[in-house]
Each structure stands twice: as C-alpha cells, then as structure tokens.
Amino acid sequence: MNVKALERRSGIAIWRQIADELRNEIATNLALKDSRLPSELTLAKRFDVNRHTVRAALNALAKEGIVESRQGQGTFVRRQTRISYPIGKRTRFSDGIGKQAQTTRGKLLSLSTEIATPEIASALQITAGSNVICLDALSEADGMPVSRSTSWFCAQRFPDIGAAYQTTGSITKALAHCGVDDYLRQSTEIEAHHATMNDTEYLQLSPGAIVLVTQAINSDTDGNPIQYSKTRFAADRVSLMIANEL
Amino acid sequence: MNVKALERRSGIAIWRQIADELRNEIATNLALKDSRLPSELTLAKRFDVNRHTVRAALNALAKEGIVESRQGQGTFVRRQTRISYPIGKRTRFSDGIGKQAQTTRGKLLSLSTEIATPEIASALQITAGSNVICLDALSEADGMPVSRSTSWFCAQRFPDIGAAYQTTGSITKALAHCGVDDYLRQSTEIEAHHATMNDTEYLQLSPGAIVLVTQAINSDTDGNPIQYSKTRFAADRVSLMIANEL
DNA sequence: CCGGATTTGTGCGTATGTATG
DNA sequence: ACATACATACGCACAAATCCG
C-alpha cells in the first residue's frame, strides 16, 4: 500500500491529488456510504503531508457533495452514486437512464446542415461532400447534465430529423417520425480524456475532470448506417454497461 | 470558442490545464501529425496567459513525447497514436492487441487463493465464502505498460489456472489447459477515474492521468461464469472498441 | 548574402498560490 | 492565525535559430 509518494512539481496541487485519491476510493466502494473516513491526522500520516493539506482536500470533496465534515465527530461519506448507461445492440438513452433517474431530458443546443467530412461520410457510408444534418444536444438526469452529444444524419434521407427531435426530445422518437421504427447499435468506440473548456462549461465540470468519449454508429435493420454520433459523458456521473445477449 | 476562462484556484496549475486542452485537440485530430502548432505567442493570446505559461505546457507535452519544439521553426505534433482494444463476445487481449503492437506480454504480478466476497461470489455465481483464485497481471505492448488486471476464478473448478497462466502468459491458453476451449464475454462495465498512486506506479503514469476501469464477466458456452476481472487501462494509450456482429 | 520578421530559448524581478510547522 | 519556503504565473528584455523577400 502507498507505494509511491505524491509528486510535487506535477502541476497538480497535493491537496487535489489527495482529493482525487479519496474520491476514487469512495467511488470504488472501498469506503461505504455514511461510513466515517479516517481522521484528518490519520490521513495526514498516511499521505505524509501536513494536516492543512488534508483539510484542503476534504474541503474540495465537501464542495462536490461527496463528503461532509462534522465538528467533533469526523468526516462522513454522503454519496457515491453513478448512473449506469447501458450500451448494447438495442440501447436507447431514455430506456436505460429513465429507470434510474427521476427526470430525463434532451435539450437541443444547435441544429445545422453541413457538408460531410470524409470521417462522417465514411461512417454513414455516403459520398463525401453531400449534405448532413448536425444535431447538438445536452442530456440531463435529475437536473444535472450527464452528456453532450453531436449526431450526424444523412440530410437526403432524414430532412426533418431536427424538427422531429425538437418536438419529441428523443432520438428514438424522432427517427420513428422519419420512418425508422427500429435500429441497432453497430459499433461503439470509447476513450477517456480530460475535460476541455467546452466540457467544463456545458457539463458543469471542474478543470482536471474526466470525460468518457464515445463514437457510435447506429444502423437500420438492413445494416445501413443512419446515425453517427460523438458523445461526451461526465465520467464521475456515469458508468457504461455493455451487455451481450447470449 | 474559448467560452470559459481557465480556473486559477482549482489546485491544477494553468500550464497543466493548457497541456490537457492541447493534448485533447491533438488526440481528437484537430491537429494532425507533423503539423505545426500555433506559435507560443498566439497560444498565449488565445488562453490569455503569459508566454512562459504556454512554454511550461508545451514542455510537459514534449516530455510525454507528443510534441517537439525546434528553435526558430515552431512546435510540431510527433504522435497521436492509441492502441485500439476490441471488446466483443469473443474478444481476446492477445488477438486484439497483437496485430497492432510489435510485442505483447502478460506478466504475472501475484497469485493467491482468497475467500470469495459477496461481490465476487455473485459475479461467478458461486456460494459466498468459497475459495477463489486471484490472479494479478500486467499487460504490456511495445515495452509500455497498457493495463493491469485482477481476475478471479472458482478455485474448485480451476485449481491449476495460476500455474497454467505462468507458463503460457495468456488467459485464453491457461483456460484451454483447464479444459475450457471456448468462452464468451457476458458483460462489461466501464468507468473512468483519475490514476491512483498504485496506477502511477504500475502503469507508469503521472498524477492527474486517467485510467479506464472495466469490470468484466466471461462465461463458458453453457453460460456459466468462469472469470470475473477488473482491468485498469492507461487511458491515453488505448481506446476501447465495441463491435456488434449484425 | 543581407536584413527584417518570426519563432523558440533564457534570465531576472515580483506577486500570488501552495505546503509546512 | 502567523511565519517560512517553494511552486506557479506574470511582465519585460534579449539572445539564438530559422524563414523569406
């Protein structure tokens, strides 16, 4: 345990490194909800730092709503929740999230018609340079932003997808409006990055936070790609679940 | 563009926030390989900081081998590679990685027999408290550590799995030794976290780096779980690819 | 080959943030 | 709360390498 010391010239303050470490342990169930964390002095000894530094770390976690300090008693875990987002052949955002969160919304940020780049054309299997509809949306659960996604559709096949999404607030329903009553997830690529300044803005994250980035292609039942999307999830609010039907 | 200012009391140095932002843009192909980055003065104006601060960020990226600065010429992108790790019903680590990297190894870190916790027992569908074999391994590609995984097997069914892994260096071959010639990926859960001190040690990461954490269950062809594993990937070296056969 | 413009490399003084006791 | 040491960020100045007309 504790094999490596905290690094001092890494551009990340020690109190933040400790906060990240503790947040991790809470998230991976090493510390259970409502349980008491070790005392500030114990933590200071464990990380080999001053008690002030531990207090700065706990202060940051308290601001995030993860722990709560009570004078004379100690510091306690408040929550360690994560929304599980299923990814499978027939996964719909509203289906998966709807059951776990109280309220689910998709908010349209922007809607535009663009010229397909080679990347988009290749994903949608259309000729490069043809028109695509670009749909930018923010998804929220229980009032907290969860993900921001950009989707591309073939403009020729789905000219009214934007209007349909705006009225329904759901990709699935919008596609149904356009004559697609069933579709399948063909592929998903997952990466993790540090939050960009755009992410900190739209997903209400702090710098240094993590985003899970997925690139997905959805196809109709004949195997023709109909939607190409890139989604950025606030990593501390979700986990991605891949289930394979046997 | 550039909607939000960099945060100054966030515990993360501004030069590191800029480095994260630039690394992101390089990784998402906004800057191509061998292309020149904007000049230090231009970047300083864009982020509204001193040129020294931009230099500190570029210095960090240079140490990571991502960019290279040449006096009088500019700063150039050196690489933006990521190993793609496929996740599917029939995915094997060596299969997926072997084609992309020159050398692939699995190094056994530790091997022990443990009492199944409720979590492990539930995943393997065995009675809690029975014996399980815990196998800790480090995977490398081209000499760089890529992932660290901990796997649990039912001790009753696979008493010799440890020895088999040690001689073969592959889970697939070790399972074949124990009479399992085919298995399927039943489920995978994915999260992203900041690197712990253990991660920085074993995966050679710097503090603030990101790890992709997967929890997976493999089953034999009859649907009985045979392996439960948790794997921690160095996020800046891999992307996870999920392909669904149609 | 010259000279001016551009770009990275370096030094120093100062103010603020971080970490210790 | 206070004092001390170090890291970070800023501003200014100038040197060195490269590019281009």
Q: Which residue shows structure tokens 């200012």?
A: B5
In the predicted model, what is the mean pLDDT of residues A88-96?
65
A223 phi-psi bin (left φ>0, alpha ψ -120 to 50, beta other)? left
- Tell whether A240 is within 8 A of chain B (Cβ): yes
pLDDT in tens, B142-201: 778 999 999 999 999 999 999 999 888 888 889 999 999 888 888 899 999 999 999 999
CB of B52 nearer than 7 A to strand D? yes
Contact assignment for B11 to A60 by CB distance below 8 Å: yes
pLDDT band, very low/low/confident/very high, at A1 (cuts 50, 70, 90): very low
Q: What is the C-alpha separation between B52 and B122, in angstroms, rounded?
A: 54
HEC string of B150-199 equals EEEEECCCCCCHHHHHHHHCCHHHHHHHCCCCCEEEEEEEEEEEECCHHH
Residue with CA nearest to D8's C1' atom = B13
pLDDT band, very low/low/confident/very high, at B72 (cuts 50, 70, 90): very high
In the predicted model, what is the mean pLDDT of residues A156-171?
91
pLDDT in tens, B101-157: 545 667 899 999 999 999 999 999 999 999 999 999 998 887 789 999 999 999 999
Question: So what's the pLDDT on residue B91?
Answer: 66
Nearest-nucleotide field for A50 (CA, C1'):
C20
Catalogue the E-assigned strands of chain B.
Answer: 67-70, 74-77, 83-87, 104-115, 131-141, 144-154, 183-194, 210-220, 225-234, 238-243
Percent above pLDDT 90 for chain A: 61
> Which of A96-105, A121-130, B80-89 holds the top average pLDDT?
A121-130
CB of B49 nearer than 7 A to strand D? yes
Question: So what's the pLDDT on residue B29?
Answer: 66
pLDDT band, very low/low/confident/very high, at A79 (cuts 50, 70, 90): confident
Question: Which domains can be identified in chain A, with CATH numbers?
Answer: 14-77 (1.10.10.10), 83-242 (3.40.1410.10)
CA of A52 to C1' of D2 (A): 14
CA of B206 to C1' of C19 (A): 20
Q: Which residues of B touch A198 (CB under 8 A)?
A: 3-4
Q: What is the C-alpha separation between B205 and A88, in angstroms, rounded?
A: 31
Q: Which residue has the higher pLDDT, A107 or A103?
A: A107
In the predicted model, what is the mean pLDDT of residues A53-57?
97
What is the pLDDT of chain B when averaged over all its residues? 87
Phi and psi torsions of A207, nearest 5°: -55, 145
B237, pLDDT greater than 60 = yes
pLDDT band, very low/low/confident/very high, at B246 (cuts 50, 70, 90): very low
Contact assignment for A12 to B11 by CB distance below 8 Å: yes
A19, pLDDT greater than 50 = yes
Pairing of strands B238-243, B83-87: parallel
In the predicted model, what is the mean pLDDT of residues A207-227?
93
Question: So what's the pLDDT on residue A2?
Answer: 42
Q: Which residue has the higher pLDDT, B29 or B65?
A: B65
- Tell whether A209 is within 8 A of chain B (Cβ): no
pTM above 0.75, yes or no: yes
Question: So what's the pLDDT on residue A92?
Answer: 65
Name the residue among A60, A196, A235 with its Cβ closest to that of B21: A196
Which nucleotides of strand D are protein-proximal, with an atom < 7 A from a CB?
1, 7-13, 16-19
Nearest-nucleotide field for A13 (CA, C1'):
C18
- Tell whether A122 is within 8 A of chain B (Cβ): no
Minimal CA–CA distance to B106: which of B118, B115, B95, B114?
B95
pLDDT band, very low/low/confident/very high, at A242 (cuts 50, 70, 90): confident
DSSP reduced 3-state for B3:
coil
Calculate how close chain B gets to A194, using CA atoms only, in Å. Answer: 6
Q: What is the C-alpha separation between A237 and A85, in angstroms, rounded?
A: 10
B3, pLDDT greater than 50 = no
Minimal CA–CA distance to B86: which of B96, B94, B75?
B96
pLDDT band, very low/low/confident/very high, at A94 (cuts 50, 70, 90): low
Q: What is the C-alpha separation between B168 and A116, in angstroms, rounded?
A: 48
Q: Which residues of A touch B23 (CB under 8 A)?
A: 193-194
- Tell whether A66 is within 8 A of chain B (Cβ): no
User: Chain A 31-50, CB below 8 Å of chain B: which residues?
Assistant: none
Element (H, E) at A55: helix A51-63
- Tell whether A187 is within 8 A of chain B (Cβ): yes
What is the pLDDT of chain A when averaged over all its residues? 87
Which nucleotides of strand C are protein-proximal, with an atom < 7 A from a CB?
6-12, 17-21
Q: What is the C-alpha separation between A227 and A231, in angstroms, rounded?
A: 12
